[in-house]
Chains A and B, each alone.
Chain A
Amino acid sequence: MTALVELWNVSKVIKGRKIIDSLSFTVKQGEVFGFLGPNGAGKTTTIRMIVGLMKLSEGDILINGHPIRTGFEKAVSQVGAIVENPEMYKFLTGFENLQQYARMQSKITKEKIEEVIKLVGLEDRIHEKVKTYSLGMRQRLGIAQALLHDPKVLILDEPTNGLDPAGIKDIRRHIRDLAEKKGMAIIVSSHLLSEMEMMCDRIGILQKGRLTHIQAVHESSDRAVDRYAIEVNYPEAAVKKVISSFSYVQPKIAGSCLMVEAEKERLPEVISLLVSSHIKVYEVKKVTKSLEERFLEITERQEVMSG
């Protein structure tokens, strides 16, 4: 897999303040990269630098090998983007809007325009003025404009902002499709973790202009130790029993459950110990840590360190 977007030590200084501090990461072909961080962390600034709306103070950004500093036109011709809301010319029709962008690039045929309209499902309303469109339709027109020139890289800033659940699901499906079927590299930003978890392959966490963590969304399944919740009638007694025999599973109480961290093979031993101690076992289930928990773990650790 080739890296389509590469950031090398990118920094941005505005009025003497370092908004972005030596950011480096790469996004590969066919990958959806989530850009996560609280508001004001610098997500939008970074995205604006990638699409050429803002100049870099230091470092460089390469799009499919073309540096944005010296080869702006070549680099940007590989990028389709929606930065914040997809603002369109409201007094033009959806079709006329797309024609505007088609004229700005060579080799975009009428057939290509029809194709992207079909892809985002706007055939019925494309010849109506954009001011009559709902936000969801504008978002879809925004995606159509971003895909018009068959870019290798797609950048979506807060793509689900203000959309209803159906619209969000729609966008998510489009994003996964484009990455998997067309092999595009996609960068998505959001401050909603649950949202990102559902569409990204990797997530980079941005805090105060620094990339503090990059994490794969799906934990590898062959991980040795898992967490299990065992529902029992006497959790306190169960904890004591388990500590005395298997302290390394780190038993803890959570409500009516006993939480243990153990390899799969150890689990029957723990259960038989409980049963032989006359503790009733109602349910055993594997707990996968949600991304949310991991995110909070990371950010809390950061705060402890800085505080």
Chain B
Amino acid sequence: MIGLIKNEWLKLVKQWGTRVMIALLVLITCLFAGLMKYEESHQADSPTPGWQEKLQAENAAYKKELTEEQNLTEVRKDYLEGQININEYRLQHNLPVDTDMDMQSFVEGSSDLLSFAGLFVLIAAAGIVANEHTWGTIKLLLTRPVSRVKILFSKYATVILFGLFLLAVAFTLSSLLGLVLFGASGSSIHLAYENGQVVEQSMIFHLLKVYVFKFVDVLMFATLAFMVSAVFRSSSLAIGLSSFLLFIGPTVTMLLSMRYEWTKYLLFANTDLLQFEEGRTLVSGMTMEFSLVVLAVYYAVFQILAFIVFSKRDVAA
């Protein structure tokens, strides 16, 4: 099995296209860092005077929304309460909001760049089965004394490894750039509201959580592309369909979700797990547990389809 995964990994990274993708990710992260540095040099020094007044104003607005708004979702209500409590905690303990750019906030900001990593993993997943058919090498691959299930599994494992690799590259690179350009001076504490209490969390823990949640998003779309690749044997269809869904899906789902409640069963309503952290769920009544179950069902369907079709297929020219 290790040998099979090694094979797939070598085939993936020895391709010119894969190296370009890795280089692009590095380049984009560097550009983003440069841009942030430029922005920072044009900003006023902080802590901003009067941050207490600002937080109090914020809380007043939150409280107003909490009491006057009729159709607040549970998640939104929790979120508002959390924010109010966190702000009060800040006021009590004299913890100003750190608006200064530092290593941690840079790493958090550059987590948005994971969309690129996601796109690259999607492209790799779309090609990993379909390319063997295009190249004709599938005939040599499947006439070995290795079951087709094992071969497909090694390919999927390689996609996941590639995803983790890009994630690690992005995380390490943005940490390094953040450290060099902005320093590690900022507060290393992240305030979270859990079970009616404000808790201090380590920043690293918070950042890892953000990256892991974003990785779930990447994983779902990569699995979708992998399934299309294995079922339809066409990498262009797999890339086209899944990136179309990646870009259009969330928007369409959001539009639909304003009128129909069933949209909460759509894949795109659930891929963004940060929506629960940030109190902006698409459809009321959705919870983290609900989303995880929906995602698991989609994931299982994708995998079952891919494995059944791949192992039963007659390989013709």
Chain A residues with a Cβ under 8 A of chain B: 14, 44, 48, 51-55, 72-74, 76-77, 79, 81, 83-92, 96, 100-101, 103-105, 145
Contact = CB atoms under 8 A, between A and B. Distances in A.
A83 B145 CA distance: 16
B6 interface: yes
B145 A77 contact: yes
B139 A72 contact: no
Given A87-B135, A87-B136, A104-B4, A73 B147 contact: yes
Sort chain B's interface into a size bin. Answer: 20 to 34
A91 B131 CA distance: 13
B137 interface: yes
B143 A74 contact: no
Interface stretch (B7-15, B36-44, B89-97, B227-235): B7-15
Contacts of A101: 140, 144
Chain B contact residues, majority secondary structure: loop
Nearest to A45: B316
Interface in B128-185: 135-137, 139-140, 142-147
Contacts of B11: 89, 92, 100
Chain A contact residues, majority secondary structure: loop
Nearest to A77: B145
B316 A91 contact: no
B143 A103 contact: no
B3 A83 contact: no
B16 A76 contact: no
B137 A52 contact: no
A88 B137 contact: yes
A84 B15 contact: no
18 contacts: A44-B317, A53-B139, A73-B145, A73-B146, A76-B145, A79-B143, A83-B139, A84-B139, A85-B136, A86-B140, A87-B135, A87-B137, A87-B139, A87-B140, A89-B137, A90-B135, A96-B10, A103-B3
A52 B139 CA distance: 9
B258 interface: no
Contacts of A85: 136
Nearest to B17: A91
Interface of B: 3-4, 6-7, 10-11, 14-16, 135-137, 139-140, 142-147, 312, 314-317
B316 A54 contact: yes
A53 B135 contact: no
A86 B317 CA distance: 13
> What are the nearest 4 A-B pairs in CB distance?
A87-B136, A103-B3, A77-B145, A53-B315
B3 A104 contact: yes
Contacts of A79: 143
A90 B3 CA distance: 20
Given A48-B315, A84-B136, A100 B7 contact: yes
Contacts of B144: 76, 101, 104-105
A178 B135 CA distance: 28
Given A73-B147, A76-B145, 12 more contacts: A54-B316, A55-B312, A73-B145, A77-B145, A83-B139, A83-B143, A89-B11, A89-B135, A91-B14, A100-B11, A103-B3, A103-B6
A53 B142 contact: yes
Nearest to A14: B314
Contacts of B316: 48, 54
A74 B139 contact: no
A77 B144 CA distance: 7
A91 B15 contact: yes
Nearest to A104: B144
A50 to B, nearest CB: 10
Given A87-B135, A100-B7, A104-B3, A92 B14 contact: yes
A104 B146 contact: yes
Nearest to B3: A103
A101 B11 CA distance: 12
A197 B268 CA distance: 63
A257 B265 CA distance: 88
Contacts of A51: 139, 143
B275 to A, nearest CB: 41
A87 to B, nearest CB: 3
